[in-house]
């Protein structure tokens, strides 16, 4: 027997309410999800929705919901594939808390999102209802079980006969529902029809016209169905920004940013979630005089980048945690030979193969200290898609000026999420990087270190009179191998002094909120938006909270101790593992802390606390807010 969705929440199926009578709710923001089985195109539907919203002037943030396999079994909770889109009147800086509306192509995908806490208590659920009356009794039972699990809450269910409707146009509805769903959403959110049609057409540039028409027809069908059957509309007013904007994901931003930075070689080996950056680069790089070299392995990838940099053409390599581990020896070689190099690590869940498609911030200490021996280098972390774009220019400059390695820590949240941001204005200054093969002046040695600052001018092959052999062995100013205590001490000192010098060039970080207070939360990387939203909400609740977000992790930005001392308590928020301090098993001695926390404690001798989680998804502002509430120091003002 079929268990019906709670009667009070069932849509009035009989009503043919015209759009004019639908109630319109105006909101500053809304979060929606589209989920299907892998291969049914929910991602495409949501991506178009996101792009169109951005074009209309809304702030957006999209997050992919991806199963680990390419073709997982259908109608299984782990198969849920799709996107979350959060839109807002102003800028949107993170993926939000729970979805206010979800379109689900089957009840198992819906169930998965529900179980993960992705749905707001009063979420509107548009669900394909063909499964309720499916010929296969197992499927009918699964539907019933799901409805029972979902029951008893304030969800508003709207059954949508997607299959039935799509079959009026196509034979295989599996390949058409996403456009139908796009029609539904376009109607509900009042999206610009022409923009949607254009965006659909963009995907069919290289395909048959008839295929495009079919998709457009499915889209119009969905739109009409919603006009006739859905009695509410959601308006998220858009404000046309006063400057040109772009929307892209962090990997695209890193790829484009590397071009804007004048790089001409990306040497890589396929690894999730870093690789999509090289997909995009492979498509366009050659137009710019650059190439993507797919090496035989992670080690060769950084080796090729290093060789190119040694020869005067600064290159970069892009990888993820397991690849970072393999590249370790080469990172140290670049540091030892003082060869500029940019390495992008798009972090995923670890250790080992871990969570290949999911976000985590657990490579920080490996990036800083993973190289055996003393190997000082720069580590920086972009916090937004825009910073992913911009950091490549900055990283390359630093690498060249300091003759060292710059590791850029991105993560899966930045890599696959799409955000709107002001269109970058590339400048020829970013690019300037040609070889200068002028003869080397007499007496100049390859490591003529400035004894105070540790820096030395770079010599590249082709320069007459500059011949030297770079070596990973301990060496003196002339790059002659030397094992004596003074030579090795001196080399170590010089490589370290560069970092100290660079630290002096950094400005103290800005504090978001009051410069003093009860609690300072400190973050790095992709958590910026969620942390700042949580802090904002906490401050509205009257809590005395500020936040600080670090871009440079090595060397650490200056003035941290002084800033920390102005707050009653300092706590990092990170997506990496730490032991739960409320578990009596842990003491302050045996508790393992978050990675930035560890670093800040060592660096400042301040008793920094941490709140970290490893859910395999971005942190939600609501979660962070709750952590802030619970972490307020005793006697804090309210």
Partner 1 sequence: MPSDGRFGPAFDGFQAPLSAFRSLLVNTGEEVRAMLLGRRSTLESRAARVAAELGPLAAGRIDPERFATLVFDHQDADPAAAEILERALDVLTDLADRGERLSLVQVSAGGNLYDAVARALGEIGRAFSAARAILEIRSGRHGGDDGGVGPLPFGRWTKAERRLAPPLVVRVHGSDLRPAALAEFLDGRQKIILAVEGQCVPAPLARFITPGTYVLQTADGSGIDRFAAWEGPGIAALVPESAAFFEHDPAAGAAPWERITITHLPEKLPRRTLAGLSARQQAEEIDLLRSLATRPAGVESVAGAPTPAPAAKKKDDPADKLAAWLLSRVDLSNLG
Partner 2 sequence: MSDLCCSLLSSTPDSEEREWTISDYEAALARWCPGCGDHAILAAVQRMLEAEQLPPEQTVFVSGIGCASRFPHYVRAYGFHGIHGRALPIATGVKLRRPDLNVFVVMGDGDCCSIGAAHWIHSIRYNLDMVALMLDNGVYGLTKNQTSPTSPRGLPSNTQPRGAILPPLNPISATLGVANASFVAQTADWLPAHVFATLREAFRHHGFAFVRVLQRCPKYTENIFSTLVHDPGLVELMVHPDGVVVPELDRMFKNKVQHDPADLDAARRLAVSDGNVRLGVFYRNETHPVYEETRAVPARSAGEKLALLNTELDRYAV
Cα Dmax for the chain: 92
Q: CA triplet 47, 48, 49: central angle to 5 degrees? A: 90
Q: Write the CA distances from 464 to 154, 411, 444, integer angstroms.
A: 77, 43, 12
Find the angle CA(620)-CA(626)-CA(631) to the nearest 5 degrees: 125
Q: Which does 31 bind (CB under 5 to 8 A by kind): partner 2, partner 1, none?
A: none
Which of the choices partner 2, partner 1, none does residue 504 contact, using the CB cut-off of 5 to 8 A by kind?
partner 1
Q: Which residues pair with 82 in a beta bridge?
A: 35, 65
Residue (209 or 429) nearer to partner 2, CB: 429
User: Do residues 157 and 5 lie in contact, with contact meaning Cβ atoms separated by under 8 Å?
Assistant: yes
244 binds, among partner 2, partner 1, none (CB under 5 to 8 A by kind): partner 2
Q: How far apart are CA 459 and CA 435, in angstroms?
A: 10
Q: Which residue, 28 or 465, is less far from partner 2 as judged by CB? A: 465
Closest CB to partner 1 among 436 and 630? 436
Q: Is 521 exposed, middle or buried (0-12, 13-18, 19+ CB in 10 A)?
A: buried
Query: Reduced to 3 states, what is the DSSP secondary structure of residue 407?
Result: strand
Q: How far is the CB of 418 from partner 2 (least distance, A)?
A: 9
State yes or no: cis peptide before 353, omega within 30 of 0: no
- Of partner 2, partner 1, none, which one sits near residue 510, judging by CB under 5 to 8 A according to partner kind? partner 1
Q: Which is nearer to partner 2, 218 or 314 (CB)?
A: 314
In angstroms, what is the minimal distance from the CB of 239 to partner 2? 13
> Is the Cβ of residue 27 or residue 438 nearer to partner 1 in the bound state?
438
- Select 73 or 508, whichever has its Cβ closest to partner 1: 508
Four-residue CA torsion sign, 71, 72, 76, 79: negative
The distance of closest approach from Cβ of residue 394 to partner 1 in the complex, given in angstroms and rounded to an integer, is 5
Nearest-angstrom CA–CA distance, 280 and 301? 18
The interface partner of residue 351, options being partner 1, partner 2, none and the CB cut-off 5 to 8 Å by kind, is none
Between 264 and 360, whose beta carbon lies closer to partner 2?
A: 264
Our CA dihedral for 588, 591, 596, 602, rounded to 10 degrees, sits at 50
Is the Cβ of residue 262 or residue 321 nearer to partner 2 in the bound state? 262
Identify the three-state secondary structure at position 210: helix
Residue 240 or 441: the one with the smaller Cβ distance to partner 1 is 441
The answer to whether the CB of 614 falls within 8 A of the CB of 575 is yes
Q: 16-19: long-range contacts (C-beta < 8 A, 24 or more apart)? A: 16/228, 16/229, 17/228, 17/229, 17/230, 17/231, 18/227, 18/228, 19/187, 19/227, 19/228, 19/233
Least separation in angstroms between residue 61's CB and partner 2 is 13
Cα 41-64-156 angle, rounded to 5 deg: 75
CA distance 453 to 321: 32
* Cα atoms in the 13 Å half-sphere on the side-chain side of 130: 16
Task: Please state whether the peptide bond connecting residue 273 to the residue before it is cis, i.e. omega within 30 degrees of 0.
Answer: yes
| CB-side neighbour CA atoms (13 Å) of 115 | 12
Contacted entry of partner 2, partner 1, none for residue 245, CB cut-off 5 to 8 Å set by kind: partner 2
CB of 599 to partner 2, least distance (A): 28
> Which does residue 51 bind out of partner 2, partner 1, none, counting CB within 5 to 8 angstroms by kind?
partner 2
CA distance 613 to 626: 13
- Contacted by 287, from partner 2, partner 1, none: CB < 5 to 8 Å by type: partner 2
Least distance to partner 2 from the beta carbon of 358, Å? Answer: 25
Provide, rounded to whole angstroms, the least separation between the CB of residue 267 and partner 2.
7
Cα–Cα distance, 36 to 110 (Å, whole number): 8
Please, what is the minimum distance in Å from the beta carbon of residue 373 to partner 2?
A: 12
Q: Which is nearer to partner 1, 290 or 349 (CB)?
A: 290
State residue 290 phi and psi, 5-degree precision. Answer: -115, 165
Nearer to partner 1, 183 or 525 (CB): 525
- Closest contact distance (angstroms) between CB of 577 and partner 1 is 29
| Smallest distance, partner 1 to C-beta of residue 251, A | 17
SS3 state at 543: coil
- Which partner, partner 2, partner 1, none, binds residue 109 by CB below 5 to 8 Å per kind? none
Residue ranges that bind partner 1, judged by CB under 8 A = 261, 289, 382, 387, 390-391, 393-394, 397-398, 401-402, 424, 427-430, 432-436, 438-439, 453, 455, 457, 501, 504-507, 509-510, 551-552, 557
- The residue (of 252 and 547) whose beta carbon lies closer to partner 2 is 252
- Alpha-helix runs per DSSP H in 93-229: 107-115, 137-150, 162-166, 177-188, 193-202, 209-229
Q: Which does 401 bind (CB under 5 to 8 A by kind): partner 2, partner 1, none?
A: partner 1
* Least Cβ distance, residue 64 to partner 1 (angstroms): 25
Evaluate the CA torsion angle 294, 297, 303, 305 in order and state its sign.
Answer: positive
Q: Quote the least distance from Cβ 144 to partner 2, whole Å.
A: 43
- With CB cut-offs between 5 and 8 Å by kind, which of partner 1, partner 2, none does residue 455 bind? partner 1
Q: Nearest distance from residue 471's CB to partner 2, in Å?
A: 4
Question: Choosing among partner 2, partner 1, none, which partner's interface includes residue 468 (Cβ < 5 to 8 Å by kind)?
Answer: partner 2
- Given partner 1, partner 2, none, residue 267, with its beta carbon under 5 to 8 Å by kind, binds partner 2
Rank residues 124 and 341 by Cβ distance to partner 2 and give the closer one.
341
């Amino acid at each position: 027997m079929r268990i019906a969705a709670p009667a009070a929440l069932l849509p009035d199926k009989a009503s043919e309410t015209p759009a004019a009578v639908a109630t319109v709710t105006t909101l500053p923001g809304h979060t929606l999800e589209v989920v299907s089985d892998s291969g049914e195109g929910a991602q495409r539907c949501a991506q178009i929705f996101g792009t169109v919203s951005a074009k209309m002037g809304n702030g957006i943030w999209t997050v992919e919901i991806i199963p680990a396999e390419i073709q997982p079994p259908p109608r299984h909770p782990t198969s849920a594939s799709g996107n979350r889109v959060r839109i807002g009147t102003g800028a949107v800086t993170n993926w939000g808390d729970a979805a206010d509306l979800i379109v689900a192509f089957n009840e198992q995908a819906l169930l998965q999102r529900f179980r993960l806490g992705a749905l707001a208590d009063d979420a509107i659920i548009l669900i394909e209802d063909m499964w309720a009356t499916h010929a296969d009794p197992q499927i009918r039972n699964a539907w019933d079980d799901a409805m029972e699990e979902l029951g008893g809450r304030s969800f508003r269910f709207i059954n949508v006969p997607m299959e039935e409707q799509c079959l009026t146009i196509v034979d295989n509805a599996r390949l058409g529902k996403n456009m139908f769903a796009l029609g539904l959403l376009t109607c509900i959110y009042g999206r610009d029809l022409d923009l949607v049609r254009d965006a659909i057409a963009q995907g069919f540039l290289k395909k048959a016209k008839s295929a495009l028409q079919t998709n457009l027809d499915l889209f119009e069908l969905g739109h009409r169905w919603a006009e006739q059957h859905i009695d509410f509309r959601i308006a998220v007013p858009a404000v046309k920004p006063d400057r040109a904007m772009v929307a892209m994901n962090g990997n695209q931003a890193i790829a484009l940013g590397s071009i804007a930075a004048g790089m001409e070689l990306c040497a890589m080996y396929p690894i999730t979630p870093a690789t999509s950056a090289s997909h995009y680069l492979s498509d366009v790089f050659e137009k710019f005089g650059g190439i993507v070299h797919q090496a035989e392995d992670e080690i060769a990838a950084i080796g090729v980048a290093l060789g190119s940099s040694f020869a005067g053409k600064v290159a970069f390599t892009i990888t993820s945690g397991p690849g970072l581990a393999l590249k370790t020896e080469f990172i140290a070689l670049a540091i030892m030979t003082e060869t500029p190099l940019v390495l992008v690590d798009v972090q995923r869940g670890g250790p080992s193969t871990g969570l290949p498609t999911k976000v985590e911030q657990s490579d920080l200490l490996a990036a800083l200290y993973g190289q055996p021996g003393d190997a000082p280098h720069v580590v920086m972390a972009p916090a937004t898609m825009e910073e992913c774009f911009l950091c490549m220019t900055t990283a390359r400059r630093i690498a060249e000026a300091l003759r060292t390695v710059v590791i850029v820590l991105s993560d899966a949240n930045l890599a696959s999420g799409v955000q709107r941001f002001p269109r970058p204005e590339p400048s020829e200054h970013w690019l300037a990087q040609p070889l200068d093969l002028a003869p080397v002046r007499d007496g100049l040695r390859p490591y003529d270190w400035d004894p105070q600052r540790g820096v030395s001018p770079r010599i590249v092959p082709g320069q007459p009179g500059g011949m030297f052999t770079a070596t990973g062995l301990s060496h003196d100013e002339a790059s002659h191998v030397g094992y004596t205590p003074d030579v090795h001490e001196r080399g170590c000192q010089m490589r370290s002094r560069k970092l100290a010098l660079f630290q002096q060039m950094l400005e103290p970080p800005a504090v978001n909120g009051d410069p003093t207070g009860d609690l300072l939360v400190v973050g790095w990387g992709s958590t910026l938006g969620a942390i700042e939203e949580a802090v904002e909400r906490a401050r509205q609740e009257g809590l005395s909270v500020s936040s600080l977000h670090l871009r440079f992790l090595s060397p650490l930005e200056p003035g941290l101790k002084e800033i920390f001392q102005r707050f009653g308590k300092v706590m990092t928020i990170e997506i990496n593992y730490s032991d739960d301090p409320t578990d009596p098993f842990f003491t302050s001695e045996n508790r393992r802390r978050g990675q930035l926390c560890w670093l800040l404690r060592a660096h400042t001798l301040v008793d920094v606390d941490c709140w970290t989680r490893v859910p395999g998804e971005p942190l939600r502002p609501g979660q962070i807010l709750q952590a802030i509430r619970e972490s307020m120091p005793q006697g804090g003002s309210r």
